[in-house]
Amino acid sequence: MSIFSKHLPAVHVEHHKYTADSPTEKMPVPDKVYISMAQHIGAPCQPKVAVGDLVKVGQVIGDTEAFVSAPIHSSVSGKVTAIEKNLTMSGIWDLIVTIATDKKQEVLEGLAPPQVDDKDSFIKAVRASGLVGLGGAAFPTHIKFNPKNLDEVDSFIINGAECEPYLTADYRTMMENSELLVNGLKNILKYLKIKRGIIGIESNKAPAINKLRAMVKDTPEIEVMELKAVYPQGGERVLIYETTGREIPIGKLPADIGAIVSNISSVVALETYIETGMPLIAKKVTVAGNAIRTPKNIEAPIGTQVNQLIEFCGGYKRIPRKLIMGGPMMGAAIYDDGMTVNKNTSGILAFDEESASVPKETSCINCGRCIRTCPMLLMPALLAKAYEAKDVEQLQKLNVALCMECGCCSYVCPAKKQLSFTNKLGKRLVMEGGKK
Whether 98 shows a pLDDT value over 50: the answer reads yes
Q: Say if CB 129 and CB 250 are below 8 A apart.
A: no
Whether 104 shows a pLDDT value over 80: the answer reads yes
pLDDT band per the 50, 70, 90 thresholds, residue 88: confident
Residues 126 and 141: their CA atoms lie apart, in Å, by 7
pLDDT 10s digits, 264-284:
999 999 999 999 999 999 999
Question: For position 436, what pLDDT does the model report?
Answer: 46
Give the mean model confidence (pLDDT) for residues 228-241.
Answer: 93
Residues 34 and 30: their CA atoms lie apart, in Å, by 10
Chain CA centroid to CA 180, Å: 19
Give the mean model confidence (pLDDT) for residues 48-75.
Answer: 97
Residue 110: other Cβ atoms inside 10 A? 7
pLDDT band per the 50, 70, 90 thresholds, residue 386: very high
DSSP state, residue 116: -
Residue predicted with more confidence, 137 or 94: 94
pLDDT 10s digits, 403-432:
999 999 999 999 999 999 999 999 999 988
Chain CA centroid to CA 52, Å: 33
Residues 20 and 297: their CA atoms lie apart, in Å, by 8
Percentage of residues of the chain with pLDDT beyond 90: 88
Whether 136 shows a pLDDT value over 80: the answer reads no
Q: What is the mean pLDDT of the chain?
A: 94
φ and ψ at 128, to 5 degrees?
-60, -25
Q: Say if CB 109 and CB 74 are below 8 A apart.
A: no
Confirm whether pTM is higher than 0.85: yes
Residues 35 and 99: their CA atoms lie apart, in Å, by 8
Residues 6+ away with beta carbon under 8 Å from 50 = 80, 83
Residues 421 and 359: their CA atoms lie apart, in Å, by 15
Whether 6 shows a pLDDT value over 60: the answer reads no
pLDDT band per the 50, 70, 90 thresholds, residue 7: low
Residue 403: other Cβ atoms inside 10 A? 22
pLDDT band per the 50, 70, 90 thresholds, residue 93: confident
- The residues facing 132 across adjacent strands are 140
pLDDT 10s digits, 310-358:
999 999 999 999 999 999 999 999 989 999 999 999 999 999 999 998 8
pLDDT 10s digits, 31-54:
999 999 999 999 999 999 999 999
- Collapse the DSSP code of 316 into the 3-class scheme (helix H, G, I; strand E, B; otherwise coil) and give the result: strand
Question: For position 5, what pLDDT does the model report?
Answer: 45
pLDDT band per the 50, 70, 90 thresholds, residue 1: very low
Q: Say if CB 126 and CB 270 are below 8 A apart.
A: yes
Residue predicted with more confidence, 431 or 216: 216
Residues 275 and 278: their CA atoms lie apart, in Å, by 8
Domains of the chain with bracketed CATH: 16-280 (3.40.50.11540), 369-432 (no CATH)
pLDDT band per the 50, 70, 90 thresholds, residue 113: very high
Question: For position 8, what pLDDT does the model report?
Answer: 64
pLDDT band per the 50, 70, 90 thresholds, residue 289: very high
